[in-house]
Amino acid sequence: MPEEHAEPKDRSTVRSLLRLWPYVKPVRKRLFGAALIAIVASCIGLVIPLVLKWIVDGPVAGRDPGGVWLGALYLLLLGLAEAALFGVRRWMVARPLAGVEAAMRADLYRHLQRLPVAFHDRWPSGQLLSRGTTDLMLVRMFLAFPLTFLLVNGTTILIGFIILLMQQWTLGLVLLAPVVPMVILCSVFETKYSLVARKAQDQVGDLTTVVEESVLGIRIIKGFGRHRSQALAFRALSQRLRSTELGKARLLAGIWAAITTIPELAIGAALVLGTVQVADDGLSAGTLVAFLSTALALRWPIESIGFLLAMSQESATATERFFEVMDVAEEEDDTAAADGRAPKDAARQGEMVFEGVEFRYPDAEAGSVPVLSRIDLRIRPGETMALVGATGSGKTTLTALVPRLHEATAGRITLDGRDIAAMPRKELRELVSMAFEEPTLFSASVGENVLMGAEGAGEEELRRALAVAQADFVYDLPEGIGTQVGEQGLSLSGGQRQRLALARAVVGRPRFLVLDDPLSALDVHTEALVEAALRQVLEETTAIVVAHRPSTVMLADRVALLSEGRITAVGTHQELLRDSAEYAWLMSGATSAQEGAFAEDAFPDPSDEDRLVPDVPAEKGRTR
């Protein structure tokens, strides 16, 4: 089970919410000022019962109509002042709290970009989306309302009980009687509600994941007629979330009923006792009116405790979920380590070397067989190495180690004679460019997608890269290079997306190029054109190319055979065909699939090899 579904252990709501302080600190003056204004406004409400006492014991008892009107004017002014102060409080917190939410969201997004790929492999995207949207909205709402009113209502209740005790201490003690049972009830409620609030917010993340997957995979759902099963899966998650939300509602209804009923009973008892005292001339009517008015003024601060505690619990859970992501260690900067790195070796410029490289995924069981084991491979400057192997042999994982999308667990990889583990990632990823088998495009223009491959590249580099990738189709799009490709680039065909991804990889003329089967979605004729142009690019760089088809292998000077996480053979295409039965079997299957021929007819004699490659001039230094 992913860690985001873990139940909170020994969680303190206050400790969780205190982690928000670095974000709240810049706006603390406005928040404290708004809280002070709210306290003043709330205390004005407690003055109103004192005015009522004066009216009853004074003008009413003395039959003075003018005094009654004056008292009514006082009440009106106090009410207007209270409303105005609460309005000012709202205005004071709106903008700074929107800024707090924006800062937290920006930090979360920035942090997600710096987390290792292994983190993103483990966490569902819907869980991350819900943390950046719903959870941060809950945090803002907490800072805007519950945080202030827990302080305001607490202060109001304290001042109100002091006034009650000063007016008539015996009746005040009657109203204080429910304090102990209410504290116990609130403590039990807080414990139970924290668990169900966490469960609900995790389920929102699960539901978000399903919605996102359904939208992105709508072609699969429609193509296979799976809309009913997807709807049932969504309904099941919705029902689960509904049940959890109803559980929250039951808890909230229970605490609200208890917090409402117990004080009402105390007020009723105080009313009976106070009436008896007035009848016995032990208490003035005005004092009783003021006492009861004060008690009624305290009803909302007391009754809101359950609501405020619920919102605080949800906010504490949202804060926990936010910091669960923020606490994950980012990829190390490596700047300090880079200061002590070995200088560039001029004799090894452009060389890529794997020395005893091993790799296990971070969540692999201890003692499990590594994905890659003792990889030793040397790619000479300017050489192109094809990487061939059966599905699951570790080809993609090996290429991902070069730009440090994953970290090798043993051994080392060097570029230009320098250990990549001691290179700053920014510098490393300027040296190495990649094109993945699954091309990913962003909701931006064609040009912007391609230019992501090289910071500072201009129009000339863009057009060259499009030509290399045989992506001239972009000029026929409605707005040419400026055409928006849409979410995931799904408005383009698979081959078009792959060509744009290849253009992005070569636009910066990288010193090292890593291509993960970049031509798999192209038709035979387009593939031949791309290969012809790509040969020119490969002449200028050191490259490693994951290949599944002989036509792609022909781009390489040498071939490395990867089998069960190990390099089992290295040589030219013809050498491996002759000396490696596994390689010959892999290539025969690929050729049969590609050309529709029998395996024994798949490999022509070397003298006929030109039939496998485009009719282009032989490249200098190339071994085919």
* Model pLDDT, residue 299: 81
Exposure string of 20-51, with b = 16+ CB inside 10 Å and e = fewer, is beebbeebeeebeebbbbbbebbbbbbbbbbb
Which span out of 5-19, 404-418, 484-498 was modeled with the highest average pLDDT? 404-418
Average pLDDT of the residues in 249-256: 87
Give pLDDT tens digits for 281-298.
777 887 888 888 888 888
CA geometry: angle at 146 spanning 143 and 151, to 5°?
Answer: 100
- Helices marked H in 115-178: 117-122, 125-132, 134-144, 146-167, 169-176
- Classify residue 445 by its DSSP letter: B
Strands laid side by side in the 418-419 sheet? 372-379, 352-359, 410-415, 418-419
Split at pLDDT 50, 70, 90, the class of 344 is low
Helix, strand, coil content of the chain in percent (nearest 5)? 65, 10, 25
Average predicted confidence (pLDDT) for the chain: 80
395 versus 283: the higher-pLDDT residue is 395
What pLDDT does 614 receive?
35
Contact between 371 and 360 under an 8 Å Cβ cutoff? The reply is yes
pLDDT at position 111: 92
What's the DSSP call for residue 26?
Answer: G
Beta-strand relationship, 542-546 and 384-389 = parallel
Q: How confident is the model at residue 38 (pLDDT cuts 50, 70, 90)?
A: confident
HSE-up (13 A, CA, CB side) for residue 277? 19
Q: What is the pLDDT of residues 517-550, one digit of tens each?
A: 777 667 777 777 777 777 877 888 899 998 888 8
The band of 592, judged by pLDDT with boundaries at 50, 70 and 90, is low
Give me the mean pLDDT over the 350-355 stretch: 91
Between 7-11, 353-357, 388-392, 516-520, the lowest mean confidence (pLDDT) is in 7-11
Poorest-confidence range of 50-64, 97-111, 147-161, 274-288?
50-64
Please determine, for residue 459, whether its predicted confidence score (pLDDT) is greater than 70: yes
d(CA 329, CA 114): 9
Strand segments, DSSP code E, in 246-390 are: 352-359, 372-379, 384-389
Q: Which domains does the chain have, with CATH numbers?
A: 17-326 (1.20.1560.10), 344-362+369-438+511-612 (3.40.50.300)
What would the pLDDT profile of 600-622 be if each residue is shown by its tens digit? 334 444 333 333 333 333 333 33
Spatial contact of 203 and 127, defined as CB atoms under 8 Å apart: no
The CA distance from 138 to 218, in Å, is: 31
pLDDT, one tens digit per residue, over 328-343 is 988 776 544 444 444 5
Strands 372-379 and 352-359: antiparallel
CA distance 235 to 250: 22
